[in-house]
Amino acid sequence: MNTAKDLNEEPPRGPRERLGGYVILARCLDKGRAELNNTAGEFHFNCPLDNMLFSFKEVNGEEVRKVIEEEASDEEVLDWLNSHGKPKTAEEIAEWSAQMEKVRPFDDPERREWFAGECQKLGLDPAATTLFEYLEEDDRQMALQAA
């Protein structure tokens, strides 16, 4: 069953949407499935955002890609993720997800210039914008353009 979205037409699920308590995971799966279906558009699987999740769980993107290639459902990928890499408690997952929602790339000297430029394109104040707020606004504007 192919559940790939056409990310040229609609954005992936938002970064805050939790799957098994994990932020980013649902978005990551949408991008991975779309990439395998050649409908990813400007989106990329195994990008730095996805790797925040992969690093937390101590798995790698190619391992996750193989699971997605098997047309695994969200729940099957979640089961795989929970049984591979470093075991995490529900509390650790919740804490990590909460911390991810607060990430401000502008505070990172290595990302500051890039993030400021990206925020400027969207009319956002980089110093007051979280990574997730940036992604949500980028998705919103992309959806408006596609409509």
Look at residue 146 in the predicted model and tell me its pLDDT: 77
Q: Locate 94 and state its tokens.
A: 């919740």
pLDDT tens by residue, 61-94: 999 999 999 999 999 999 999 999 999 999 999 9
**If we measure between CA atoms, which residue out of 10, 91, 99, 11 comes closest to residue 53?**
99
In percent, the amount of the chain with pLDDT more than 70 equals 99
pLDDT, residue 145, reads: 85
CA 135/CA 58 separation, integer angstroms: 24
Alpha-carbon distance of 91 to 97, in angstroms, equals 10
Question: Tokens 């394109």 belong to which residue?
Answer: 121
Intra-chain end-to-end CA distance of the chain, in Å: 27
| pTM of the predicted structure, to 2 decimals | 0.94
Quote the pLDDT of residue 2.
Answer: 64
How many other CB atoms sit within 10 Å of the CB of residue 8? 13
Tens digit of each residue's pLDDT (9 = 90 or more) over 14-58 = 999 999 999 999 999 999 999 999 999 999 999 999 999 999 999
**Statement: residue 13 has pLDDT above 90:** yes
Give per-residue pLDDT as tens, 121-137.
999 999 999 999 999 99
